[in-house]
């Protein structure tokens, strides 16, 4: 990537967790960053943590709503003129410890709309912008999960969307060839965030019991996303998996 011009990123789910950590990592490295998320106050809290003078734009966005995604990328174009990176991070686990046959359709639909449809909408908007801008091109990084490889018990909706996201990543990487648009995915296991706080209290295991699971610093994830983002566009990391070393992963055992 050309270091002589300003680089602009869109980070969804930027109000907390991995999204906040990645946004702050990029802002600290001199990127201009559009912070997108459903909670406006959380986006402003992220912006307040940025280094003095950092170029951060907060845009309240529900990624499952096409009109709001369109407004997000219009705001990015108006403020920064281009988009060099989309970190497709917004997501939800959905309901807690619910047996599959008791999972309400509304809950399933909410997870699919956020994790998969939202990722599609943001990727499509970014792809259009990257294809048309001058210089052309950019990078899309999808936040997968180790659940894109193996599920947790009672996580059908979340697991299904993360497996689907892997297919979206592969399709975007192919469709971006010849357009200078690279796409990769980072699959994260047990980064210490608000969403994974339950790991330290005990979560259901594959054998039916519960156990406390180790976590890793979210700062490690943010550094890896930045590494992927700052590669030249003729190089790509299609898939990267990073997880707390001792967490259950292979077979979730």
Task: Report how far residue 11's alpha carbon sits from residue 35's, in angstroms, rounded to the nearest whole number.
Answer: 5
Active site residue 158: yes
Nearest to residue 38, comparing CAs of 59, 60, 8? 60
SS3 content of the chain, % helix, strand, coil (to 5): 45, 20, 40
Q: Determine whether 70 is exposed, middle or buried from the number of CB atoms within 10 Å of its CB (0-12, 13-18, 19+).
A: middle
Catalytic residue among 31, 73, 80, 158: 158
Exposure string for 3-28, b = 16+ CB within 10 A, e = fewer: eeeebbbbbbbbbbbbbbbbbbbbbe
Contact (CB, 8 A) for 114 and 91 = yes
Query: What is the C-alpha separation between 162 and 149, in angstroms, rounded?
Result: 8
The span from the CA of 186 to the CA of 114, in Å, is 18
Give the CA angle between residues 221, 62, 135 to the nearest 5°. Answer: 65
Active site residues: 158
């Amino acid at each position: 990537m050309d270091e002589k011009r300003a680089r602009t990123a869109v980070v969804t789910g930027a109000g907390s967790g991995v999204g906040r950590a990645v946004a702050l990592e990029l802002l600290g490295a001199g990127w201009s960053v559009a912070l997108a998320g459903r909670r406006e106050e959380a986006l402003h809290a992220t912006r307040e943590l940025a280094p003095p003078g950092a170029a951060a734009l907060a845009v309240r966005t529900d990624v499952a709503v096409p009109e709001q995604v369109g407004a997000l990328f219009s705001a990015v174009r108006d403020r920064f003129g281009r988009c060099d990176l989309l970190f497709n991070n917004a997501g939800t686990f959905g309901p807690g410890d619910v047996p599959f046959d008791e999972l309400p359709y509304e809950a399933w639909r909410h997870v699919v709309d956020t994790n998969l449809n939202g990722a599609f909408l943001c990727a499509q908007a970014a792809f259009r912008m990257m294809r048309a801008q001058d210089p052309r091109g950019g990078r899309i990084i999808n936040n997968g999960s180790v659940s894109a490889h193996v599920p947790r018990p009672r996580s059908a909706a979340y697991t299904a969307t993360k497996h689907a996201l892997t297919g979206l990543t592969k399709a975007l990487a192919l469709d971006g060839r010849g357009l200078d648009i690279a796409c990769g995915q980072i699959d994260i296991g047990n980064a210490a965030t608000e969403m994974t706080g339950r790991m330290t209290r005990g979560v259901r295991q594959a054998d039916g019991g519960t156990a406390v699971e180790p976590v890793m610093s979210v700062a490690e994830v943010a550094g890896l996303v930045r590494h992927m983002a700052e590669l030249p566009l003729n190089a790509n990391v299609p898939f990267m998996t990073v997880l707390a070393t001792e967490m259950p992963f292979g077979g979730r055992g």
